[in-house]
Amino acid sequence: MGRWDGIADAVVREDYARGMTSAADRHRRWSLHRAIEWSRNHPQRALAILAVPALAGGSAAATCAEDVGTAVVGLIALLAAITAAYFALPGYVEWTKQQAARPKVSIGFERFDSTSGATQPIEDEEITVESHTLQLRVIVKNEGTATLRFAILNVLVDAECELEVLDHKGKQHYALPWPGRNDEIVPGRTTDVRFTAAERDFPPGNHFLYHIEIKVPRPGDWPVLVALDGSPPPGARGRLVIHSTEQTSLIGRS
């Protein structure tokens, strides 16, 4: 190892003899010492690099050592950058995918018979019933690439209607016992409403079914709003109008 120490000392003595004490000179000596450190750890490679110039004399050997030192420092920096990129790339790719992933939720309706289990798709935003009662299935779909988290599903009807949840308790879908007020069910005005609530995450690639029974107080048009909100926004909205033609009210009968 004495050969490398001798080269370093020769270069330092030469620098001081020339009066080179600038920042550039100090960087030059720092690069050289980095090369010496590398040479100590890899003596065979260093000897192969310096064998020919070292035979030419101390000054030539020192100059060669300086060049090698600069090259080694650059190589070390390059390898460090490549290594950092190699280990950081998978995390960056995953982070990019997560940023691009979004839920895409939609709401649909089916007419539902709780006795037979039969269903009938509702294609339009209005359904005509010849009675005051409608059993309804609400279908939530997430066709996106991310989960809608911390979501709340509400089914809202006019406060004059009766609203009952037909789902089992395990679904955690409940009808609230008190009325509320809403400015979406009838656009442009605030309406007293009855509503249900269900809380859960909605992961992609799944359908989620909720079942309710609505009784309207008299013939007419009765709006239904399904509001789904979560993170990230926006959620979804589903609208339906129940057009009842029954002339006798069922609400209040025993």
- Count up the domains in the chain and report the number: 2
Which of 100, 115, 133 marks a domain boundary? 100
| All residues at 6 or more sequence positions from 192 whose CB lies less than 8 Å from its CB, including other chains | 158, 159, 179, 180, 181
pTM comes to 0.60
Co-location of 235 and 161 in the same domain: yes
220 and 144 in a single domain? The answer is yes
Q: Both 181 and 213 in a single domain?
A: yes
Listed residues 100, 131, 158: the one ending a domain:
100
Q: CA 236 to CA 248: how far, in whole Å?
A: 35
How many residues appear in the chain? 254
Instruction: Indicate whether 94 and 125 sit together in one domain.
Output: no
**Domain match, 45 and 118 both:** no
Query: Of 136, 134, 169, 176, nearest to 154 (Cα)?
Result: 176
Q: Are the CB atoms for 32 and 8 separated by under 8 Å?
A: yes
24, 140: one domain: no
For residue 87, the enclosing domain spans 2-100
Specify the DSSP element, H or E, that contains 164: strand 162-165
CATH of the domain at 237: 2.60.40.10
Sign of torsion, CA 47 49 50 52? positive
Give pLDDT tens digits along the chain (254 positions): 454 445 445 544 555 555 555 655 555 565 655 666 655 666 555 555 544 444 444 555 555 556 666 776 777 777 777 777 776 767 666 656 556 689 999 999 999 888 888 899 998 899 999 889 999 999 999 999 999 999 999 999 999 999 999 999 889 999 999 999 999 999 999 999 999 999 999 999 999 999 999 999 999 999 999 999 999 988 999 999 999 997 654 444 43
Do the Cβ atoms of 237 and 184 come closer than 8 Å? Answer: yes
The residue among 100, 130, 146 that closes a domain is 100
- Asked whether residue 69 is assigned to any structural domain, the reply reads yes
